[in-house]
Structure 1
């Protein structure tokens, strides 16, 4: 990382953002007609596609059936072309399994699982282009896909990363900032209640800095919520208008 200034004397990051600013977010719902719900999200140069199927009858062994709630199945994968390094990325590798488990736990906390006993919901997310904040972009895309599928949730789920650069907390970190080796924090919340449904930290962070890095991450989630909510409302308006015309 020699020669690359992550935070200038004027307080600007390498991509021109202030410490508290998110990367530009673009999102769209209903991108696949074949799925019950789908969404596409761009956070900076990180691009994610999410699809949702269900609720439907539980597949596989009868032992998987949950009699009091829905079974949530999540699968995370990265496209071969998602990074500059072209290589095969099997769905069953350790990293993908870890991300899949985290996604399942996150959405178990948000979806009203008791409404669909003895059934299954499948959530598939794929990284089309990776530039940092992969898990966060997946959560945000999956949230919109679940909404598009009409599956009731307690609240949106919004995720955001944060870090510390030269004692300054920064939000929504890019791959360049991730690669610098500083502490990385990922938080997913239900924004209206501010309930934390996932918290991860990849390295040690001094207790004096923990609160400010967490706070900027939570604020980032709230800012993302505003973008996702606007996109969902615009999609509903668009669908309603199409139905009215037909």
Structure 2
């Protein structure tokens, strides 16, 4: 399919969205009782489950599989952030023998760690570790962004102090027109793709990645649309957090009486 067919003469995309329209986002906090915090998020057809454990003592696996605590000079002063990204074998049409540990998963895990290392107030938890696990249940583009948005909700559910909400969004070009929140079809057949993660209130960028080079004439407007997408996602996540907190508070009040 040619790239120009992804945008109609009425400037509508194949899924019926306008150029500046996000995919439908649905999310829920506290979906996994065994974790300290958890969240489930759907961004279009991309579905993610995130779980957070900690803060807890730092451990590493030694010889014979035994675990023992290990501390470094850095971890003495602030928490260590451990992130693990994985995709279920049924998450996409591509069948993988190893859903974890491949190069792509390791790269995504590193990006997530860099993102949340900048957002979490790690100085409040010296000599400790916070584990963030994200699992792609269904992949349809914007996997990293969906993982960031789900992990942010899971960290809030766990009560981990953060400097700000971290929200992520993609943007691209179709017919020299910027479009936001790219799905898998648009990603594979469209133009260059920009991924950005920001702290929503301050606007500080914590991760920026481009699949290809953008012409300087297009970069600014694509960047602006991605940032606007992050702000719109922030309002959706914040609304869900407030509803979750209100519901939990009502339940606690009812139990107290």
Structure-1-length-normalised TM-score:
0.97
Residue pair 1:77, 1:89 contacting (<8 A) in 2 also: no
Asked if residue 149 in structure 1 is aligned to residue 158 in structure 2, the reply is yes
How many angstroms apart in 2 are the aligned matches of 1:3 and 1:22?
20
> Secondary structure of the equivalent of 1:203?
coil
Asked if residue 111 in structure 1 is aligned to residue 120 in structure 2, the reply is yes
Look at both structures and tell me which one has the larger radius of gyration over its CA atoms.
2
Q: How does 1:65-214 map to 2 (within 5 A)?
A: 66-214=75-223
Q: Gapped runs of 5+ residues in structure 1?
A: none
Q: How does 1:210-229 map to 2 (within 5 A)?
A: 210-229=219-238
Q: Deviations over 1:2-54 (max 9, x none)?
A: 59820001110010000000000000000011100000000000000000000
> Secondary structure of the equivalent of 1:152?
coil
> Secondary structure of the equivalent of 1:5?
helix
How many angstroms apart in 2 are the aligned matches of 1:54 and 1:4?
48
Aligned length: 246
Cα root mean square deviation, aligned: 1.3
Residue pair 1:163, 1:185 contacting (<8 A) in 2 also: yes
Call closer, same or farther: CA 1:93–1:3 in 2, change over 3 Å. closer
How many angstroms apart in 2 are the aligned matches of 1:204 and 1:152?
36
> Secondary structure of the equivalent of 2:232?
helix
Call closer, same or farther: CA 1:2–1:193 in 2, change over 3 Å. closer
Q: Deviations over 1:115-162 (max 9, x none)?
A: 000100000000000000000000000000000000000000000000
How many angstroms apart in 2 are the aligned matches of 1:239 and 1:29?
11
Call closer, same or farther: CA 1:11–1:4 in 2, change over 3 Å. closer
Name the stretch that deviates more: 166-175 or 83-92: 83-92
User: What is the deviation of 1:86?
Assistant: 3.1
> Secondary structure of the equivalent of 2:100?
coil
How many angstroms apart in 1 are the aligned matches of 2:98 and 2:179?
30
Q: Residue in 1 aligned with 2:43?
A: 43
Name the stretch that deviates more: 82-91 or 51-60: 82-91
How many angstroms apart in 2 are the aligned matches of 1:20 and 1:47?
21
Name the stretch that deviates more: 86-95 or 73-82: 86-95
Q: Residue in 2 aligned with 1:62?
A: 70
How many angstroms apart in 2 are the aligned matches of 1:229 and 1:24?
15
